[in-house]
Amino acid sequence: MTDSKKQPGSSEKLWGGRFAEKTAASVEDFTASIQYDSRLYKYDIAGSRAHAAMLASQGILSRDELEAIDSGLVEIGREIEAGTFRFKAELEDIHMNIEKALVDRIGPAGAKLHSGRSRNDQIALDFKLYLRDQCDLLMELLKGVNRGFVRLARGYLGAVMPGYTHMQRAQPVLVSHHMLAYFEMFSRDHSRLEDCRRRLNLSPLGCAAMAGTGLPIDREQVAENLGFDGVTANSMDSSGDRDFAIEFTSCCAMIQLHLSRLSEELVLWSSQEFSFVEISDKFCTGSSIMPQKKNPDIPELIRGKSGRVVGSLMSLLTLVKGLPLTYNRDLQEDKEPVFDVVDTVSASLSIMAELLENLEFNTATMEEATKTGFITATDLADYLVLKDVPFREAHGIVGRAVAYCLDKGCELEDLSVDELTRFSDVIAKDVFEVLSVRGSVDSRISTGGTARVRVEEAVAQAEKQLGIAQ
């Protein structure tokens, strides 16, 4: 058939009215997204049901048409859940698969469903509904991990360990204080997701392709029906907006980075060089050739998975960086990285919560590690400051005392008062109260410090925040 004889409307697509030829099979394969966006089915159905209810209230659909659409969508949803619905790649995505199935089942009424909307705002709606649920899921998983930190903090109150800077022993801290540091990290992650959820919870439906619609729709009714806080303000922005997906993925990347930092410490602490922690055999694996090995594979894998989560964030940032307003087909590439992030971060949080319940700290080893490395040197400097010695001068005094200890092969607390007074005549017998590890810890009474009194307050506050009965 020559071009002059091709008839418009010969395409089988729901959008194919102006097309005279069928889409090439290679194009269908390349443009299809149903293989991954089918997970949005329940959100697509929920959005369509809310949209249909609004169209009926506006007189665009009859009551009979609404009932046919609603029952048809419910039936399709049941079939998808049961695994009996057949998705067709030639229909491209979840939206077209559901709409075509609906039209095939109920006839012309199904074809009216798309009145007043476009796939552009429909996609944005489904994606927002999905991510809203994922925010809720991840926030619950974060609470589970934080409960683990708080249980450990309560269980190991009083146990001491070295705190590190530059991976060098720096100052003694309570093990509980260290656990609560992670509690703070993951609490910020929870807060970021709350903010993300609040910002994304505006409905884009009714913005249509990019300019709105001339039909008498009620966007606010649909938004309220679906639990949104309101509607988006600008149709052009709404059509091409993926800020909400990028922000969500950024929140997830931060969560995974925090998990990775924790995992790094667990890997180090479980090594023979540290022996600070013992991870249950249930959460470790062995070697295929070295029978003595007990490998911390779970934290290693969590640490490794941070790369794919950060990579997904970079993918989204790169995806939108050069896109003009409004919708562009490039945006089809937004979902796979987000879906992968959801799967990766939720799995990592779940397994970490279990792992925290299956480890024990070697408190004797940790306390022994605080007895070397001049870990109370800062306490000696603070002691001198309280004796009216300027801090910079005190710093130099302590530095010379440490050098003396290095030559002698001992720690600061091993020196006698006579030896210490060589470096400053303000030093007296009371100095040994601050040179002990326990004395050092108990002296850190500033807000947020590691003194037991402060840590006990912090544990109680964390338990209250999480609803843990004391």
* Average pLDDT of the residues in 124-149: 98
* Average pLDDT of the residues in 369-386: 91
Rg (CA), the chain: 31
* Average pLDDT of the residues in 86-108: 95
Residue 7 scores a pLDDT above 60 = no
Residues 347 and 137 sit within 8 Å (Cβ to Cβ): no
Residue 13 scores a pLDDT above 80 = no
- pLDDT the model gives residue 289: 86
User: Percent of the chain scored above 70 by pLDDT?
Assistant: 96
114 noted as active-site residue: no
CA distance 129 to 37: 13
Q: CA–CA distance from 312 to each of 249, 259, 303, 319, 341 (Å)?
A: 8, 17, 15, 10, 7
Residue the block writes with tokens 């649909």 = 222
Q: Which of 62, 191, 271, 287 is catalytic?
A: 287
Residue 315 scores a pLDDT above 50 = yes
Residue 381 scores a pLDDT above 90 = yes
Residue 29 scores a pLDDT above 80 = no
The domain 371-466 is placed in CATH, from the list 3.30.365.10, 1.10.3720.10, 1.10.40.30, 3.30.60.50, at: 1.10.40.30
Sign for the CA dihedral angle at 218, 221, 227, 232 comes to positive
Residue 366 scores a pLDDT above 60 = yes
- pLDDT the model gives residue 287: 79
Q: Which of 166, 288, 416, 446 is catalytic?
A: 166
- pLDDT the model gives residue 21: 79
Listed in sequence order, the residues at least 6 apart from 45 whose beta carbon sits closer than 8 Å to its beta carbon are 73, 74, 76, 77, 98
> Which residue spans of the chain are classified as CATH 1.10.275.10?
24-111
Residue 105, amino acid: R
> Which residue spans of the chain are classified as CATH 1.10.40.30?
371-466
> Which residue spans of the chain are classified as CATH 1.20.200.10?
119-368
CA angle 133/183/316 to nearest 5° reads 45
Residue 150 scores a pLDDT above 90 = yes
Topology (CATH) of 119-368: Fumarase C; Chain A, domain 2 (1.20.200)
Per the model's pLDDT, the better-predicted residue between 286 and 468 turns out to be 468
Residues 121 and 223 sit within 8 Å (Cβ to Cβ): no
* Average pLDDT of the residues in 440-444: 93
Report the 3 state secondary structure along the chain.
CCHHHCCCCCCCCCCHHHCCCCCCHHHHHHHCCHHHHHHHHHHHHHHHHHHHHHHHHCCCCCHHHHHHHHHHHHHHHHHHHHCCCCCCHHHCCHHHHHHHHHHHHHCHHHHCCCCCCCHHHHHHHHHHHHHHHHHHHHHHHHHHHHHHHHHHHHHCCCCEEEEEECCEEEEEEEHHHHHHHHHHHHHHHHHHHHHHHHHHCCECCCCCCCCCCCCCCCHHHHHHHCCCCCECCCHHHHHHCCHHHHHHHHHHHHHHHHHHHHHHHHHHHCCCCCCCEEECHHHCECCCCCCCCCECHHHHHHHHHHHHHHHHHHHHHHHHCCCCCCCCHHHHHHHHHHHHHHHHHHHHHHHHHHHHCCEEECHHHHHHHCCCCCCCHHHHHHHHHHCCCCHHHHHHHHHHHHHHHHHHCCCHHHCCHHHHHCCCCCCCHHHHHHHCHHHHHHHCCCCCCCCHHHHHHHHHHHHHHHCCCC
* Average pLDDT of the residues in 15-21: 66
Mean pLDDT for the chain? 94
- pLDDT the model gives residue 434: 86
pLDDT classification of 297: cutoffs 50, 70, 90: very high
- pLDDT the model gives residue 1: 41
Residues 373 and 162 sit within 8 Å (Cβ to Cβ): yes
What CATH architecture does domain 24-111 belong to? Answer: Orthogonal Bundle (1.10)
51 noted as active-site residue: no
* Average pLDDT of the residues in 338-344: 98
* Average pLDDT of the residues in 357-368: 97
Q: Specify the pTM.
A: 0.92
- Six-digit token string for 8: 């418009």
Residues 376 and 412 sit within 8 Å (Cβ to Cβ): yes
CA distance 278 to 260: 18
Residue 442 scores a pLDDT above 50 = yes
* Average pLDDT of the residues in 187-215: 97
